[in-house]
């Protein structure tokens, strides 16, 4: 899942974590402590605390930045959301500067010891390649390593990545696979590649920072499905949440 900086990549990924985690909890019988599948998040950019705050804001649909000005009902909503977030079957590793080999070793341990069956990597360009070489070669090793991890453990691996700056210079066009920053290896290894981008960049420039934005989730590659397909979404920056404005058939 790729986008330019501050376009909502991490928010989108944590929305996926939230929704899958809540579904797994709803399928649990509730007797004793949770012993089902879990989600593993490797956050190389943000701290675990910051990610949990985002989960709480999304669940409550209320920003956590203005805690001093909450009404009693808003405080109760955030408290309920914090309780829900604490029960989510998620393990977060926020160690910075991981190499791809170290990440794979930690992922295997999570898989074996904690039943982690879905991994989120945020984000690919911050991983170390574990060897010498130019940027393209380093990112190629990272891409191959993540692909090998998914095949070895037979689990989904969602990888967040950045797009090249060229897209901002040509903001009237749709993103394509060639916009992936750093290596064409991502284009080869990804089973599904999607990109988040603003429907109307000019309008977004005049909007307030926390005003909802119209975003498109563009599927540019899918081995076993449609591609070149735009899914309309609304992004609420204040509570880091994406919503689909209408049902997508």
Query: What 3-state DSSP class applies to 85?
Result: helix
User: At which residue do the structure tokens 């109760």 appear?
Assistant: 76
Q: Tally helices (H) and strands (E) across the chain.
A: 8, 10
Q: What is the C-alpha separation between 99 and 77, in angstroms, rounded?
A: 39
Is 45 considered catalytic here? Answer: yes
The residues that bridge with 20 in the sheet, in sequence order, are: none
Query: What 3-state DSSP class applies to 189?
Result: helix
Query: What 3-state DSSP class applies to 173?
Result: coil
Q: What is the C-alpha separation between 2 and 160, in angstroms, rounded?
A: 6
Structural tokens at position 32: 């004793």
Pick the catalytic residue from 18, 35, 45, 135: 45
Active site residues: 45
């Amino acid at each position: 899942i790729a986008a330019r900086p501050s376009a909502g990549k991490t928010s989108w990924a944590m929305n996926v974590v939230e929704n899958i985690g809540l579904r797994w909890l709803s399928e649990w019988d509730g007797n004793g402590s949770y012993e089902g599948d879990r989600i593993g998040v490797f956050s190389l950019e943000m701290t675990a605390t910051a990610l949990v705050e985002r989960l709480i804001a999304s669940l409550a649909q209320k920003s956590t930045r203005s805690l001093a000005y909450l009404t009693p009902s808003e405080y109760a909503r955030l408290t309920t959301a914090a309780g829900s977030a604490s029960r989510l079957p998620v393990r977060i590793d926020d160690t910075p500067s991981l190499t791809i080999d170290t990440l794979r070793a930690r992922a295997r341990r999570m898989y074996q010891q904690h039943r982690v069956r879905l991994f989120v990597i945020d984000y690919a360009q911050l991983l170390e390649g574990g060897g010498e070489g130019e940027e393209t070669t380093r990112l190629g090793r990272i891409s191959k390593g993540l692909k090998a991890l998914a095949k070895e453990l037979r689990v989904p691996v969602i990888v967040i990545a950045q797009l090249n700056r060229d897209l901002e210079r040509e903001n009237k066009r749709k993103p394509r696979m060639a916009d992936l920053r750093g290596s064409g290896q991502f284009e080869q290894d990804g089973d599904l590649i999607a990109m988040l981008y603003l429907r109307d960049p000019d309008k977004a420039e005049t909007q307030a920072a926390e005003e909802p934005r119209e975003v498109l989730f563009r599927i540019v590659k899918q081995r076993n499905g449609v591609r070149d397909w735009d899914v309309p979404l609304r992004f609420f920056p204040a509570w880091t949440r994406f919503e689909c404005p209408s049902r997508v058939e």
